[in-house]
């Protein structure tokens, strides 16, 4: 049974969800930026590349995975390419297809940033709930559309957790 959207409790829950998400992601982003010069989006893309088969992904698939437009992923990857963390690779069988792949420097930066990111997740998120509450929250959030898609199909490991 679903609740009616116009009730104060439902609206309060929605606003609380939005504000909590914004606050946590803002703090995680700030920590990564300060310690490693990476945004949360940079980190997510690098993590997906590290976990991808063969260590690379088609740029169009990467954009879909992180919910960015084609121009958005081009801008993001451009910055990572300029800093030597990601390299552009061409498809030998189809010149229209290009890949993004993590460089050795990118793997090292991701390794370093992961410690910071996981510590932030622990402080800002997991420490606030019991194991049972986290399991329940995961179940509830899995009902939402697109849950997990941006993190590699819903596997917690794909999100660096």
* pLDDT the model gives residue 92: 81
Q: What is the pTM of this model?
A: 0.82
Token pair of 136, please?
Answer: 């329940």
Give me the percent of the chain exceeding a pLDDT of 70.
88
The answer, yes or no, to whether residue 101 has pLDDT greater than 90, is yes
CB 57 within 8 A of CB 65: yes
CB 71 within 8 A of CB 79: no
Lowest mean pLDDT among 22-36, 52-66, 112-126: 52-66
CA distance 122 to 125: 6
**What are the structural domains of the chain?**
8-159 (1.10.10.10)
For β-strands 56-58 and 86-90, DSSP reports them as: unpaired
At residue 7 the predicted structure's pLDDT band, cuts being 50, 70 and 90, is confident
The answer, yes or no, to whether residue 1 has pLDDT greater than 60, is no
* pLDDT the model gives residue 146: 66
């Amino acid at each position: 049974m679903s609740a009616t959207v116009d009730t104060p409790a439902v609206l309060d829950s929605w606003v609380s969800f939005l504000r909590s998400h914004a606050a946590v992601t803002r703090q995680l982003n700030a920590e990564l930026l300060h310690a490693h010069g990476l945004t949360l989006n940079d980190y997510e893309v690098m993590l997906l590349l590290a976990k991808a088969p063969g260590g690379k992904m088609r740029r169009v698939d990467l954009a879909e995975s992180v919910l960015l437009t084609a121009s958005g992923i081009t801008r993001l990857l451009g910055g990572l390419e300029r800093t030597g963390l990601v390299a552009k690779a061409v498809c030998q069988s189809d010149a229209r297809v290009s890949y993004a792949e993590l460089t050795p420097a990118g793997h090292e930066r991701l390794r370093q940033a992961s410690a910071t990111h996981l510590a932030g997740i622990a402080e800002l998120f997991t420490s606030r709930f019991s194991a049972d509450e986290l399991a329940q929250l995961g179940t509830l959030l899995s009902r939402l559309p697109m849950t997990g898609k941006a993190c590699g199909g819903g596997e917690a490991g794909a999100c660096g957790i």
